[in-house]
Structure 1
């Protein structure tokens, strides 16, 4: 009924209330305008959805690629980076790429079109004189805006450099909150943060001042142009060459012709600011890792023993030298030794003698300066880094944990936790002697370790690190001073866990405490990057005037008994009687 009566109502309304004849064209124009406006809104929304989807795809790929690139950079770069500064460049640079694309696509092109149409309209109204005035004024306007924008960009660049320098200060302070509490520097850190904010606000004030100067100069140029144009148009009206309606149109056009360039100043500043951030991101992406796979590098092929007792991994350092820099005194010089598959070699020496450098070279975190390192006869520099590191497990002095559960941290030892079963995690935890400790935790394996594992003691973190290695089942096990910071009781417990974890693996022990090295097949004494002594514990400790004996006496109060000089049981950590430890396979 309602639908059927609608034409009749419209007909009556049109016939008696509104005579359509005189108003037909205005009515059609009005309906057309409303329809076009609505269609414009729909098209604009469609454009927004399409751009949003495209933008998200580009942003996603750029973020992932940048993140992967940062991880691909070599250890040398990471050791010298400032995390806060890198993350600032990462976030602001990625954002600037999208802003730049958006401004160029949706602002610059429409702005130029509007300017050309306005100049054309003024040409028609003023026979060229008004167009010349507009073009001249716009040229001055652009020149002043460009000059002031350069000044702004210098200020902005200084601000950005300062922001990058300061980006990591607050993060470092919060990361080292324990030191802040221990040294009672809360007030000092708060004061430094307050000073940092004040500097930031001052920088912002300088930017605001340059913007205000530019805005006032632009307003003066606009006003002068409008006044001159209206005087010219007024004369044409007085001469009968222009109607009053055209005079009003001239006023409107002269005011509107600057709108694109007023906005252009903002666009230029945005583009310049985006380019500054983008340049930093490009510099970051242009960083190249110093350690790369050779083209066509094969995977490391391990050669396990025929009886399956050892997983392969004979390690040979052949006349290896390395220096951290041309003028660096740290490094190693002409180091040669071989660790047979399943055997154990310990490396001892004073701090700074190059022990940890050998571990980094074995992992190929750095490339050797000369010589070569092989595993089962294959040069580690000629196989893929991924396959090399898949074959190696590391327990370091400072085990770093994720801000995640104990379960996730242990599982991370193999494939980042992908496909690792709960049974495997529990078995690895048992080998690392974590079962009793986990039983006392309310959430057991689901207990959160805290950022960098701060909720765990040193010994607990070490055991989690051992559990990771047990789960990994590497062919080569590197123990980098893994028990040097532990008390004697905890160390003995750790030694037992390490003894079990090292079964079936070729083991290299970097030892600070010589008791850790006693059971090794061979002990190398390193001093100033050179091997100065080698042998087993009994032969080295019995060598009068030897470096090893001197270190042993320093650690044991200067007394040597027959028991210490005698050969120790080979079933200590890294002894020859190691048998592989089993972890349940993934179901």
Structure 2
């Protein structure tokens, strides 16, 4: 499974991060325009401004706490000034309440903005990928698509909720803290500046020491997830049981899990001596401050309250500085995620909907199909898959396409349902070019049944209603009866509400086909394409299914891509394809008498079924 780059995170919890070389490579290959990213956030610019304002306000308000603490220690308590004590303590409580409320509001706004942008990106990518031709899905791993839509887009939210917020929060906090420290004691501030660099350097070394281990751990986690997906899916379980590979799969999983244990231990132990050194440094900072405050030359007459307030500020300045050091790596990682997702959004669909579709009512379509000089070249190939195909299929007639494997039959079928567009020529229905018909309308005009039936992991009812969401119970049973599947469904534990299983594995191939035929009947297309719908079935199942197919084809223009010639003997015309060209055409008996390519195919077919 394709894994995304490390999700961008900021803050001081894990030390500074180094820019991932994979992120740099992604951005070098596919640069991201800042304007394009900003465009997604432009509708929420006032909300983003409000978040920044709330962060600044929260940082400034929180800076008053050390000064109030100094007032309590230096003035209120020594002088027993109850009124001042109440005011100072009340002020500290109000600061806490105000910053907490501001934090809640800021989180609410930033999360809503981030989720809104993620929602738009998810839906944009999902709908854009739906417009891609089938060739995109055959060459792209499903795990990669899932990774882009879920993990990559999820990581982008950090632009608002982490990276952008971190810049505003950490910068404001660091500056405000530094100013407050200088206001309390410029001498101690200079001392802190001398101590902070080694502390930051030590923490960075620890982070870099852990980085390689963390990267390897992520790779092994990806391997673990891939093993779970492959071994415990329906297809994977079937493969392991039939090939006896369950033991090997368990051993590989065990090894990966063992590797993860070792990596986790190494990650925890990495840089421990540096962490110990850093702990000593941090413990030394307050000690040095107390020591400096004790010498007249460096104390400047500081009060105890000032010292306590200063150490409180000083202990809090490290986190925002570390957060700012992380911003560069986090921003590059976020932009790399945008680059990956924009890469999908920039894909040009091979099949585009018409700008001004022809107004076509599916219920009035006769089904007069014409194939005029059709040629097709695959996008990544030089060889013509189809060349100069011509055919006239009058409404209600039956055309059969036959030929050896690779002759172009299924390619032509994909053009007939507009899974791809011809490179040359055109295909029309009732005189209208398929490219001028709205894609949704076209699915009501032309239906297809293939040898690889797909049933969603849902109930039988839900699978049928995909064709006609408004179909009544009676219509569902009527379609099933016509498809010779009513008895099959009626015998199921919950009838129509029985779950078919992943990819329809509850049923045999022939049973899946019959349910698919019932679904196509509900769609009621004027033109029907049967793409080797019975080729994967045994002879007995094929005969049963042929009855359902005959019922489905009745009264429709039918185009059959045949594997077994016995199923197309009654076709009005048969086209024999070879190398993407029509080498023979005519009726069954006439082609047999001719003794050409069709007769040879018939002989081979007879030999196989004998």
TM score, norm. by length of structure 2: 0.76
| Aligned residue in 1 for 2:182 | 123
List per-residue Cα deviations over 1:118-139 (Å, max 9, x = no partner): 2223333554x65456557656
Does 2:494 align with 1:494?
Answer: no
Kept in 2, the 8 Å contact 1:118–1:253? The answer is: yes
- Number of residues of Structure 1 aligned to a counterpart in Structure 2: 529
Q: Which has the larger radius of gyration?
A: 1
Does 2:252 align with 1:192?
Answer: yes
| Aligned residue in 1 for 2:19 | none
Kept in 2, the 8 Å contact 1:153–1:269? The answer is: no
Does 2:297 align with 1:243?
Answer: no
Kept in 2, the 8 Å contact 1:299–1:388? The answer is: no
| Aligned residue in 1 for 2:242 | 182
List per-residue Cα deviations over 1:404-460 (Å, max 9, x = no partner): 11122122123xxx2222122111111101122223223222222111100101111
Cα deviation, residue 253, structure 1: 3.9
List per-residue Cα deviations over 1:184-227 (Å, max 9, x = no partner): 11112223333444555666677667786885786677678777
Which is worse superposed, 21-30 or 110-119? 21-30
| Aligned residue in 2 for 1:454 | 505
Cα deviation, residue 363, structure 1: 1.7
Alignment root-mean-square deviation, CA: 3.6
Does 2:340 align with 1:280?
Answer: yes
| Aligned residue in 2 for 1:548 | 598
1:82-93 matched pairs, under 5 angstroms: 82-93=141-152
1:106-255 matched pairs, under 5 angstroms: 106-127=165-186, 131=189, 134=192, 168-173=226-231, 174-176=233-235, 177-198=237-258, 237-238=296-297, 241-243=300-302, 245=304, 246-255=306-315
| Aligned residue in 1 for 2:408 | 354
Kept in 2, the 8 Å contact 1:330–1:354? The answer is: no
| Aligned residue in 1 for 2:491 | 440
| Separation of aligned partners in 2, 1:465 and 1:238 | 91
List per-residue Cα deviations over 1:528-568 (Å, max 9, x = no partner): 22211111101111112x111112122224999xxxxxxxx
Does 2:138 align with 1:79?
Answer: yes
1:257-268 matched pairs, under 5 angstroms: 257-264=317-324
Secondary structure at 2:157 match in 1: helix
| Aligned residue in 2 for 1:315 | 369
Secondary structure at 2:594 match in 1: coil
Q: What are structure 1's unaligned runs of at least 5 residues?
A: 1-19, 305-310, 561-587
| Separation of aligned partners in 2, 1:67 and 1:213 | 48
Which is worse superposed, 377-386 or 165-174? 165-174
| Separation of aligned partners in 2, 1:421 and 1:378 | 32
1:414-433 matched pairs, under 5 angstroms: 414=468, 418-433=469-484
Kept in 2, the 8 Å contact 1:476–1:505? The answer is: yes
Instruction: Go from structure 1 to structure 2 and tell me whether the alpha carbon gap of 1:368 and 1:226 turns closer, same or farther (over 3 Å shift).
Output: farther
Cα deviation, residue 117, structure 1: 2.1
Does 2:448 align with 1:388?
Answer: no
| Aligned residue in 1 for 2:161 | 102
| Separation of aligned partners in 2, 1:22 and 1:399 | 85
Instruction: Go from structure 1 to structure 2 and tell me whether the alpha carbon gap of 1:321 and 1:210 turns closer, same or farther (over 3 Å shift).
Output: farther
Kept in 1, the 8 Å contact 2:292–2:298? The answer is: no
Cα deviation, residue 40, structure 1: 4.3
Kept in 1, the 8 Å contact 2:370–2:429? The answer is: yes
Instruction: Go from structure 1 to structure 2 and tell me whether the alpha carbon gap of 1:249 and 1:25 turns closer, same or farther (over 3 Å shift).
Output: closer
Which is worse superposed, 58-67 or 148-157? 148-157
| Aligned residue in 2 for 1:65 | 124
| Separation of aligned partners in 1, 2:592 and 2:113 | 70
| Separation of aligned partners in 2, 1:153 and 1:72 | 40
Cα deviation, residue 168, structure 1: 4.3
| Separation of aligned partners in 2, 1:297 and 1:143 | 64
| Aligned residue in 2 for 1:14 | none
| Aligned residue in 1 for 2:587 | 536
| Separation of aligned partners in 2, 1:407 and 1:267 | 52
List per-residue Cα deviations over 1:77-123 (Å, max 9, x = no partner): 11112122321232212321223311145443222222112222333
Secondary structure at 2:172 match in 1: helix
Kept in 2, the 8 Å contact 1:397–1:483? The answer is: yes
Cα deviation, residue 54, structure 1: 4.7
List per-residue Cα deviations over 1:237-266 (Å, max 9, x = no partner): 336623253455554444332132234456
More RCO (CA 8 Å, sep 6+): 2
Which is worse superposed, 375-384 or 322-331? 322-331
Q: What are structure 2's unaligned runs of at least 5 residues?
A: 1-78
Cα deviation, residue 271, structure 1: 5.4
The match for 2:462 among 408, 417, 433 is: 408
Cα deviation, residue 349, structure 1: 1.1
Instruction: Go from structure 1 to structure 2 and tell me whether the alpha carbon gap of 1:267 and 1:210 turns closer, same or farther (over 3 Å shift).
Output: farther
The match for 1:517 among 549, 561, 568 is: 568
Kept in 1, the 8 Å contact 2:110–2:160? The answer is: no
Kept in 2, the 8 Å contact 1:88–1:167? The answer is: no
List per-residue Cα deviations over 1:439-482 (Å, max 9, x = no partner): 32232222221111001011111101110111111011010111
Secondary structure at 2:543 match in 1: helix
Kept in 1, the 8 Å contact 2:400–2:575? The answer is: yes
Kept in 1, the 8 Å contact 2:223–2:256? The answer is: no
Which is worse superposed, 86-95 or 470-479? 86-95
Secondary structure at 1:556 match in 2: helix
